[in-house]
Amino acid sequence: MAGYTPMIQQYLKIKANYKDCFLFFRLGDFYEMFFNDAVAASRELEITLTSRDGGGEERIPMCGIPYHSAANYIKNLVEKGYKVAICEQVEDPKVAKGVVKREVVQLITPGTVMEGTMLEEKENNYLASISQITTHTFVITYSDLSTGENNIAVIEAGWEAVLNELFNRPIKEMVISNELDETYQSDLKQRLQVTLSYMDETVIQDDFIYLVENLADENVVQAFGRMLNYLQTTQKRALDHLKPVQMIELKQYMSLDMYSKRNLELTETIMRKGKQGSLLWVIDQTVTAMGGRMLKKWLERPLLNKRSIEKRFDLVQGFIEQFIEREAIRDVLKSIYDLERLSGRVAFGNVNARDLNQLKVSLSKVPDLKDQLRQFENRQVNALGDQLDPLNDLFGLLEDSLIEDPPISLKDGGIIRDGYNAKLDDYRYASRNGKKWIAELEQKEKQETNIKSLKIGYNRVFGYYIEVTRANIHLLPEGKYERKQTLTNAERYITPELKEKEALILEAEEKSIDLEYELFSELREQVKGFIPKLQQLAEKISEIDVIQGFASVSELNDYNRPSFNTERNVSIQEGRHPVIEKVMKDDSFVPNHVHMTDDHDILLITGPNMSGKSTYMRQLALTAIMAQVGCYVPCQSANLPIFDKIFTRIGAADDLVSGQSTFMVEMLEAKHAITNATENSLILLDEIGRGTSTYDGMALAQAIIEYIHEHVHAKTLFSTHYHELTSLDQALNKLKNIHVRAEEYEGKVVFLHQIQDGAADESYGIHVAQLAELPKSLIERATVILKQLEQKPDRNSQKQIVQEKDLQQLSFFEQEKKKANNRVPKKDGLLLKSLKNLNLMEMTPMEAMNELYRLHKQANEE
């Protein structure tokens, strides 16, 4: 380091403490980056890479960005998962002796973003931390720095349960101990694709003890300490807006693992990874950012407590019954800004006058909101209004102090109202009267010199001046005007009188601006004291917004209030898929009933591809989730049990990240369902066993059905193409066959999308291929082959094999062999020899079928 210039040495010392960050090093009006940071930043940000002499043997790579436009560059890096350390000049260059002192004033990471332009309005930006307590027990902490929200969940079911829980929330960054198992760290990076940060300090300082006063378990307190220490280390500023930690009692909510949340597309679609096309997209009728975030949290954690669900239904019903008043509520809510994030910005110290003006406007709408809620006849809705605190003291403070439309900048004045501070009023009086005097002086000089074009102007370099064109200079009296600046076509002068007034005016303006900034800082500190009440108000308004949104979407889409039973009965009349029916704008969606009594735990669904089996399964799960969230559901009527868990295996998807095939993913998801489900759960299994050979797949499918029937007893929808399985209804008394209707018309299949009792007659696979417009010659050939196969005498052998009741355990290898001393008949010996000589790997499927037919015929000959 000794060979580098003092400034580069300073950079390297600071960079050594932030090795995993881009260091934005302030030099004048630019943030500069050097060495590897410069090379990487030029690539990621697509900016020019240059170099400079740093005192070493070679020139140093360098790139830079203007400090005033840094926000967009920082956003770009953070969205890609990088961290950015902001290193500012903390010493006035004019008084610095040697190199200007610089320090990192903030670390911006994916989980600690505070700038509004970097945040999605209706999305929380969670930072999470993991602390391992025992082999199977972990503590997860969630913190949204932008809103101050802190939550903790204790996971006692092992690492896979941790991943399922984390998948339930949009996590971008994870704080962990350096000692966390490497395998776990790899899972977090590969499977959840989060940025990892490290913090081993868990002791909470006395100033923040109030955040954990309601936590009794010391392990949980230390787990939050890891998160808090990371926030303090990276943010280096006040965290007064952090809310006390809330425990997430997971047993109070429906369990949705990562597979179910993904397969059901609750908050984002599988293909596009976006909101459009998800259940959230359909039911989100919120009008505030706060309400949008609360809705997403509710959807991720459906309730198990019937009383709590019914309370939400009562509120939704109250809003539905009074359309005009509900629309008035929506209009009021549209004028309310994001109180949660405004509170965070106040505490963080980066709030400006316009932000506080938004806060004032929002508070001004609270009395209107209370009045509108009083118009409802529903008592529960009235109670929502009673819970709203308009914070009149804070509104009065902001109303008295801020002008109506303040500027963004805090350094240029023009923020504080006249009459708020007497000293500021004196400065403004002097400044305004001084300018009036300047205007009067200009008129006086024009008259005395008879120069019509004479004018008095101002700039920051020379101050006030009298400007006269060259053609009129001879009209100026001698001795009074002192030349100050020469221009091409004019001269600028100053007089003793103007100079004296200039000093008074500029002093008043400078002091006025300084005092305004000081008053605004004091105002910001006063607003900080209202943060807890603001956060409570934000929560109440968010709840009102979500409930009115449920009422609006229910009325718009003809949803109805469901009821619940404790007998495990499912009864849905004319149920619909909420997303698909919205996408199908021509009202062509075909509704279907779902009926499952205590006598029927399993519905075995058959029918052709594209007929609607998966849609039928998904719509049951989405209806259950909507009901337990507190929203009305898409059907004519619904009577449901309260499901504690939902498990799904729908759609084929290889897990390329972990190198697992479609079949392995199928088996893992099926295992997860049957080992974690209870009799109060809902299981959806679509085409289990299709990822392997026919016999293997069929045997596995039957074994899974039998296991669920005999051991799990959960309500289960199981779709299959193995028609041989439909005979299981004779052996399993709680299994019922249903199928999706399809009819053949003039050689083409017509999907009716109607569910009926009984098994399907055909699979219509070739017809589906025809709809997909495969080549005509291919379709014709497939039809010929199908007819040949259907004529074989052993077509029913698969059914016979699967119906064997002794098929209770599967094996990839033969476990029993015939005894060596068993005598083999001569004819059988010839058949065995023929079988052994077959080269199956070289044969086409058709050749194999023909050879099998020949051997079968030979075996049956007398």
Please give the angle made by the CA atoms of 718, 724 and 726, to the nearest 5 degrees: 50
The reply to whether 707 and 680 lie within a common domain is: yes
Confidence of residue 588 (pLDDT cuts 50, 70, 90): confident
Query: What does the pLDDT average to over 687-716?
Result: 86
Residue 410 covered by a domain = no
Question: Which residues lie closer than 8 Å to 342 by C-beta, 6 or more apart?
Answer: 351, 355, 358, 359, 362, 534
Residue 795 has pLDDT above 60, yes or no: no
pLDDT of residue 829: 66
Tens digits of per-residue pLDDT, 511-541? 898 999 999 999 999 999 999 999 999 999 9
Q: Is the pLDDT of residue 329 over 50?
A: yes
Is the same domain home to 231 and 205? yes
- Whether the predicted pLDDT of 336 surpasses 90: yes
Q: Give the number of other Cβ atoms within 10 Å of residue 795's Cβ.
A: 10
The answer to whether 719 touches 687, Cβ cutoff 8 Å, is: yes
- What value does the mean pLDDT take over residues 618-638? 97
Structure tokens at 284: 């989100």
Q: Is residue 168 part of a domain?
A: yes
Decide which of 55, 86, 108 is a domain's last residue: 108
pLDDT band at 848 (very low <50, low <70, confident <90, very high): low
Do 610 and 478 reside in the same domain of the chain? no
Q: Is 423 annotated as a binding residue?
A: no
Token pair 């896979």: residue: 160
Amino acid at 37: D
Specify the pLDDT at position 3: 81
Q: List Cα–Cα distances, 210 to 245, 307, 343, 432, 738, in angstroms.
A: 9, 31, 18, 49, 58
Please identify, among 203, 224, 248, the residue that sits at the C-terminal boundary of a domain: 248
SS3 30: strand
Alpha carbon distance 291, 297 (integer Å): 10
Q: How far apart are CA 464 and CA 451, in angstroms?
A: 18
pLDDT at 721: 83
CA-based nearest residue to 112, from 195, 185, 190, 179 = 195
Are residues 660 and 795 located together in one domain of the fold? yes
Lowest mean pLDDT among 521-530, 603-612, 712-721: 603-612
Domain co-membership, 328 together with 457 = no
What is the chain's mean pLDDT, rounded? 87
Query: Using CA of residue 278, residue 284, residue 287, residue 289, what is the dihedral sign?
Result: negative
- Domain contains 793: yes
pLDDT at 654 over 90: no
Of 198, 188, 146, residue with least CA distance to 167: 188
- First and final CA of the chain: distance in angstroms? 96
**pLDDT at res. 741:** 83
Shared-domain flag, residues 703 and 604: yes
CB atoms within 10 A of CB 34: 23
pLDDT tens digits, one per residue of 89-108: 998 888 888 899 999 999 99
pLDDT at position 764 is: 64
Bridge partners, 416 (sequence order) = 402
What is the pTM assigned to this prediction? Answer: 0.82
Residue 364 assigned ligand-binding role: no
Q: Per the structure block, which two tokens stand in for 360?
A: 């004032």
Identify the residue with better confidence: 818 or 446: 446
Angle of helix 159-167 relative to helix 182-190, nearest 10 degrees?
30
Are 546 and 286 within 8 A, CB to CB? Answer: yes
Rounded average pLDDT over 385-411: 92
Name the 3-class secondary structure at 592: strand
Residues 625 and 713 in one domain: yes
pLDDT in tens, 735-781: 999 998 877 666 566 777 889 998 876 666 676 777 777 788 887 88
Flag whether 855 is in a domain: yes
Closest listed residue to residue 729, CA positions, set 593, 620, 599: 599
On whether both 495 and 542 belong to a single domain, the answer is: no
| Residue 554 is labelled as binding a ligand | no
Domain boundary among 108, 131, 165: 108
266 lies in some domain = no
77 neighbors 45 (Cβ within 8 angstroms) = yes
Whole-number CA gyration radius for the chain:
37
Q: What share of the chain in percent tops pLDDT 70?
A: 89
Residue 797 pLDDT: 43
Q: Both 195 and 166 in a single domain? A: yes
Question: Above pLDDT 90, what percent of the chain?
Answer: 61
**How far lies 222's CA from each of 129, 165, 200, 216, 227, in Å?**
11, 20, 10, 11, 9
Q: What is the pLDDT of residues 337-381, one digit of tens each?
A: 999 999 999 988 888 999 999 999 999 999 999 999 999 999 999
> Residue 352's beta-bridge partner residues?
none
- How far apart, in whole angstroms, are the C-alpha atoms of residue 72 and residue 369? 37
The answer to whether residue 271 is domain-embedded is: no
Residue 792: CATH number of its domain: 3.40.50.300
Residue 84 has pLDDT above 70, yes or no: yes
Judge whether 533 is annotated as a binding position.
no
For residue 808, the number of C-alpha atoms closer than 13 Å in the C-beta half-sphere is 3
Phi then psi for residue 706, to 5 deg, are -65, -40
CA–CA separation, 29 vs 37, rounded Å?
19
The pairing of beta strand 84-89 with beta strand 22-27: parallel
What are the start-end ranges of the H helices in 450-574?
Answer: 496-528, 531-557
* pLDDT level of residue 1 (50, 70, 90 thresholds): low
Has residue 806 got a pLDDT over 60? no
Distance separating alpha carbons of residues 737 and 731, to the nearest angstrom: 12
Whether residues 573 and 609 share a domain: the answer is: yes
Place of tokens 């417009």: 773
608 in a labelled binding site? yes
**What secondary structure does DSSP assign to 117-183, as a single string?**
GGS-TTS--EEEEEEE-SSS-EEEEEEETTTTEEEEEEE-S-HHHHHHHHHTS-EEEEEE-TTS-HH
Greater pLDDT, 507 or 233: 233
User: Tokens at residue 35, please?
Assistant: 């060495």
The first and second tokens of residue 609, run together, are 């591809």
Q: Which range has the worst mean pLDDT, 175-184, 290-299, 758-767, 837-846?
A: 837-846
* Amino acid 132: pLDDT: 96
Residue 416 is assigned to a structural domain of this protein: no
Q: CA–CA separation, 737 vs 715, rounded Å? A: 14
Q: Which of 352, 344, 332, 349 is nearest to 402 (CA)?
A: 352
The rounded distance, in Å, linking the Cα atoms of 498 and 475 is: 19
DSSP state of 419: T
What gap in Å lies between CA 613 and CA 285, rounded to an integer?
29
* 204-208, 477-481, 541-545, 804-808: range with lowest mean pLDDT: 804-808
**Average pLDDT value for residue range 315-326:** 96
Per-residue pLDDT at 237: 84
Task: With cut-offs at 50, 70 and 90, classify the pLDDT of residue 809.
Answer: very low
611 is in an annotated binding site: yes
Inter-helix orientation angle 496-528/353-374, to 10°: 50
333: amino acid identity, one letter: L
pLDDT at 126 exceeding the cut of 60: yes
- 201, pLDDT greater than 50: yes
Q: Identify the weakest region by mean pLDDT among 454-463, 617-626, 743-752.
A: 743-752
DSSP class of residue 328 equals H
DSSP single-letter state for residue 29:
T
Angle at 123 between CA 582 and CA 272, to 5 degrees: 50
Strands 563-564 and 637-640: parallel
pLDDT of residue 409: 84
Pair 551, 579 in one domain: no
3-class SS at 796? coil
Label the pairing between strands 637-640 and 246-247: unpaired
Average pLDDT over residues 548-562: 97
pLDDT at position 825? 56
Weakest-pLDDT range from 14-18, 67-71, 695-699, 711-715? 695-699
Q: Left, alpha or beta for 147 (phi > 0: left; psi -120 to 50: alpha)? A: alpha
Distances (CA, A) of 644 to 50, 253, 289, 616, 735: 60, 7, 30, 20, 21
Is 131 part of any known ligand binding site? no
Per-residue confidence (pLDDT) for residue 845, from 0 to 100: 58
For residue 814, the model assigns a pLDDT of: 41
With a CB cutoff of 8 Å and minimum separation 6, the contacts of 153 are: 139, 140, 142, 165, 247, 248, 250
CATH number at residue 66: 3.40.1170.10
pLDDT band for 548, please (50, 70, 90 cuts): very high
Whether residue 821 is contained in a domain is answered as: no
Least confident stretch, 24-28, 71-75, 755-759, 800-804: 800-804
**One domain, residues 553 and 569:** no
Q: What CATH number is associated with residue 315?
A: 1.10.1420.10
Does residue 14 surpass a pLDDT of 60? yes
**pLDDT tens across 150-197, in order?**
999 999 989 989 998 998 788 989 999 999 999 999 999 988 889 999
| Domain that includes residue 436, residue range | 422-520
Distances from the Cα of 111 to the Cα of 234, 397, 573, angstroms: 11, 33, 45
Sign, CA torsion 758/761/762/768: negative
Q: Give the C-alpha separation, 291 to 283, whole Å.
A: 12
Cα distances (angstroms) measured from residue 96 to each of 2, 6, 91, 109, 375: 22, 14, 7, 31, 66
Of the two residues 137 and 741, the one the predictor is more confident about is: 137
Tell me how many domains the chain contains. Answer: 6
Q: How far is CA 681 from CA 159, 451, 520, in A?
A: 22, 94, 56
Query: Is 433 annotated to bind ligand?
Result: no
